[in-house]
Chains A and B, each alone.
Chain A
Amino acid sequence: MLDVAYVAGFSDPGAASQMVFRLLLDGMASPGSILTIPDLGGVHPPALDYATAGIILAIADPETPVWFSDAFRTDVVSKWLRFHSGAPAAAEPSEGTFAVTRGTDADGVLGRFAIGDDRYPDRSATVLVSCASLAGGDPVVLTGPGIPAPRTVAPSALRDGFWKEAKANHARFPLGVDLIFVSGASFFCLPRSTNISAEGAF
């Protein structure tokens, strides 16, 4: 049987990375817009969403430690990460340039990740939040850069208080983490610049 950790991550890594990156750039430039990564060949650990695997392969490398929440930190995932991206696994959430967690994971609380410092707010984590679905949850309304008219998103399921954490994250702007909500092959971005409002979700 093929070991998932070692078979091709992308069938054409250069072209696939470029395509995933451009989707990601579109996503960051248009918070809340749902985008889908097409089938780019290759195999990924089944525990990870296809979008998570694609994003990590596209932009992580030996210079960017990746932190996984307990739910994802398996032997296969660690080997896969190391072999395909060369990225080290971060031991602490605060050390991850990227973090991969489920929206329900208690160890993925947003306050645990690097938020940058006043002079270098870019030295902050990008957190991939895996959701059961990008719809069907409590709706929140997004406004801010990249959003011409208020946009509603409703990912499910998220831990209690998640939107409170996200709102606190935005309140620290320009410090803060940038979020990518993933489910299967789809994702949307929620950079720190996005203002979040909702009724009932908090």
Chain B
Amino acid sequence: MIEKKVRCLQCGNIITSSGNPGEVILVTCPECGKKGKVTYKKEIQSDDVAIEAINLKKVYGDLIAVNSISFYVRKGEVFAFLGPNGAGKTTTVEMIESIRQPTEGTIKILGKDISRFFNEIKDKIGILPQEFFSFERFTVRETLLYYASLYKKNVDINEIISMMDLKDQENKLYMNLSGGLKQRVGVAIALVNDPEIIFLDEPSTGLDPKARREVWEVIADLRRKGKTIFLTTHYMEEAEYLADRIVIIHKGKIIAEGALEELINKYGDENILRIKDCKSKDIISKLKENDFETISEGNGDIAIKIKYKEQILEVLSFLKHECVDYSTIDIRRSNLEEIFLKLTGAKLREAS
């Protein structure tokens, strides 16, 4: 039996509930009567684990790049390793890929310790390294044939070309492709052995928004095909859009871990109502006097934490009553950027 504390989505009341692993329990808030489901996850079984890192540490001189982190990746999920540049993402993924030697710790891929069995694992993984560029004067088809020739398994290159929508580019030289297409070829190379696990290290860095979207669609498609994807990124939108589970890493340490919903529920604030360009000078003090929890964001912008749905109407009525002039209002939930800010005191982009 597991005991859990959950927050009522309507009134914000904290409710204590208990259940068994795998059960979904219906609970009712004693304060407002709102009903909701509480899920008790099954404990992870070793057969379900694609990657497991235990107390992983990497030290360069005085610098601890990765500080004794542990996490696992389930089979068939998109696992995002999110953090600013220099957080330790690439060092971690390169230790898992056996490119770097960990100072301490154990890494298992498909249940096998990579320090002993990495050669056996090579056939089962596909990798797109960070800032990867292939041979300039090979065509797309030649590039795929080249990397495919390294494996005993014979895969159909035509199938990969079609899957990655590279048919029109297959005879073009790699050097003549756009950044987005090069990344798509990079992902295609990672598929030449039909791997179970695909590592994509910052696959959309440096791409324009359209190309980034294209890469995201490719990754989403791979997930639909049942591949396990280990994605490192410093784009929270990428993690939000693609990931089943997210680990946030900062200064070599894991600071949060879970599905997007779990992270928001656990670390995020309530819904936030934002008033833009508010003209009234003493409005913040008046809001506080009326028990609204406010945050001044500068330049006349005000954020108000919404604890229950009706509070939105209460705020709007108050603003009307006080004849407050403003330009726009929006209401939204916390995102990963805000969670990162809350956990580290820095914005994700600023921390890079």
Asked if A pairs with B, the answer is no
Binding site for B on A (CB under 8 A): none
Binding site for A on B (CB under 8 A): none
